[in-house]
Chains A and B, each alone.
Chain A
């Protein structure tokens, strides 16, 4: 009896496994029969986009998504980030620069088939300006109005002289037929609320690519839109952006060939892949700078700042006490560059100024000690910490470091040891960015390590240090009437050269006054599979050594040049076991388990004694 059962069981197992393997092989062959497969360029990033609406921009891949799916009104020239034709092809001011004539391109369409018209452009600009929509409203200063003259001409009328169209406004052109539903009422608040709650799914834009697949938290797939005015890609049909929750997984995926390009790698992971013969690493300027910011008081309900911070001598001594190169070497493993100006040398290249040597305050602890001694900050009670000149409070600063800002915590630690050398104590408060915002808002801090990422146009970055920005964008409510005047002057300068002179002066002023202490310019570490993609197909924007390959201003058109090597389709392959292995394993396990149970059940009935 038992023997018969076992033989039957074995026969069944063998039969089923053979059958499964055969079907599986057929499936596997199916999967490889894809000669007409599109050429896909796969990019790894370390966080998902915030949302599909152009009004929820935040960080990371948000801007790449936006520029793939939407055309900017006026774009960026990838060579020098100067304004370049987008949907608007030309922009000419009248004599007093209060009226600009904009010409709108006639060959663009939205991905739902509707043409892009001059009305769409006028609608987008006035929608944002009239309703004060977030992110973009500051690009339209002096309450402008927009008047359609004919099918291709638009007048931008300002109440004051302006160079705003030349900034240019970072403004995706929205289809009026989708967004006009929010521009009906007289109440801008109501409109803003409705816009905020609009998911914009699927997005309708006129950009070179269309979002054809979006699995939140997993990947985005973009497909090239045939006949887009920007031109036809040399090779790429689709772009896939895959989201990895951690840097190790992203680097592993690049090494294994699952992705073709890794964006914004950590220095650690970048150093592990850059020597791989199949991978080419590129150190670009991230366009962000790390800094120490001081609280000058006057903001927030719990405003409490150390009185010594108001004293420029203290800030000057700190500047001398810090070895910026050590921070770059240890915290950023040499992938950042020491810096002094509040503008970015790569992104703001036209306006960036090398800060003169006398304002660079070289590392010199002896000089720092001398400055503090002379200013009367002495260690009267001999505990290693200096006191205020009147002998009251010790120089003990509440120092905020932020866990989710790259390098903030490590920079803070180095700072502590640097300041110890000159008799200043640092008490840490290590928090995440959300908590840091709370503390910043309440004014309950002395010093923090954070970062800024300026626009290509310097206006916004310069505005951060004006008195008006207290409680808005200002770090610590720094206020200097002289600086405020210069800011207004550069804003109204209508000549680029003249404006540059003023901007130069402002950079020097900040370097001298030290309301923030610029430490270093960060790098954006990018790497791609150079065994599959021709390095000649990659170029940087701006066109300098530090420019970005992708994920920068004006880099969307760079996708058009990327070409695979030889006849390889270049497409990254997804790893995994073929179907037949799964079928064999799962089927095998199920059948064996079934067989065992079958046999055992028989045994139980045969010999049941309980």
Chain B
């Protein structure tokens, strides 16, 4: 009963947040100072009459409440409008970017979680050991390293000097299919994925390490040791599961942001992801696209937060009951 109510409350919260995002997304783009029509006017040589025509075709001459109703109706039916620049539907533009972004950032997040947690656990458990000291310092260095810079160095070395990997892009050609395509994409993905993984790893390692150290001082760990449980088992069965909780929150928050892409790394490696495309759209004041991308990003953050909440409640009954 208690857990059902907890679930219901969390879902309700998530829905309310989503509604707020929908609303903010509408208001935000109408109070922004820059006028996309003027930008088009300059680059496409439009007269004052053409500008008025553009405004009416975007529905911006209608009263605000009416615009809002239209916006909600279109968003709910999956119509995010048409890109101001290329005349292509925003859903199509976003759709083709979602795959590469999830692949790159998703794989990097998984890899960095695995390695980061492993490093954090090993280091935290043998605090002060050579492994701990060296991994802590490297984690700090990696954590504070600008991703763009790291990416550029890797690009110049692996693609430029060694010539091992391509200098950018997602694939060589669409005509390559099947297994050869997988290898082609893997080659293109190696460097950006390595950059991101190195960039994320430090954060996970540090958080995991400190939360494990905290747990190690708890009474139940001492009790387990007093019982004569082998060190490895104390770690695996008692300390780590408890120390995982705060790290888990971090992991799920990061997954929420996967869809936002990795703007800088995507730009360094010309990876056709959502983040890179959003930056281009912002430069062009392509509002329909930006609006769609923001909505998607917010929704994914909300969904992953909800999952984290639910999982948290499941893993730690105290959360559910409070």
Contacts and interface: CB of A to CB of B under 8 A. Distances in A.
A256 B96 contact: no
Contacts of A432: 283
Interface stretch (A358-366, A480-488, A570-578): A570-578
Interface residues of A, number: 66
A213 B155 contact: no
B187 interface: yes
B272 A437 contact: no
Contacts of A135: 44-45
Contacts of A255: 160
Interface in A222-278: 240, 242-246, 248-250, 252-253, 255-258
A416 B293 CA distance: 40
A388 to B, nearest CB: 31
Contacts of A598: none
Contact of B88 (A27, A193, A199, A434): A199
Interface in A419-449: 432-435, 437-438, 440-441
A249 B57 contact: no
Contact of A134 (B45, B89, B172, B283): B45
A576 B33 CA distance: 46
Interface string B181-200: 00110111010000000000
Contacts of A577: 164-165, 183, 187, 190
Interface in B200-252: 224, 228-230, 233, 237
Interface in A134-186: 134-135, 138
Interface in B233-281: 233, 237, 266-270, 272, 276-277
B48 interface: yes
Contacts of B128: none
A219 B184 CA distance: 14
A53 interface: yes
Given A249-B167, A252-B159, A437-B39, A579 B179 contact: yes
B159 A434 contact: no
B276 A437 contact: no
A330 interface: no
B31 interface: no
28 contacts: A27-B179, A27-B183, A56-B86, A134-B44, A135-B44, A135-B45, A192-B50, A196-B87, A199-B86, A199-B88, A201-B88, A245-B168, A245-B266, A245-B276, A246-B270, A248-B155, A249-B269, A252-B159, A252-B160, A253-B168, A255-B160, A257-B163, A437-B38, A575-B159, A575-B187, A579-B179, A582-B186, A610-B224
Interface of B: 33-35, 38-39, 41-48, 50, 53, 57, 82, 85-89, 93, 96-97, 152, 155-156, 159-160, 163-175, 179-180, 183-184, 186-188, 190, 224, 228-230, 233, 237, 266-270, 272, 276-277, 283-285
> 7 closest Cβ contacts across the A-B interface?
A576-B187, A51-B86, A217-B272, A253-B167, A574-B172, A252-B160, A252-B167
Given A574-B184, A576-B188, A577-B164, 12 more contacts: A218-B169, A218-B272, A245-B267, A245-B270, A248-B152, A250-B167, A252-B155, A252-B159, A435-B34, A438-B34, A440-B42, A582-B186
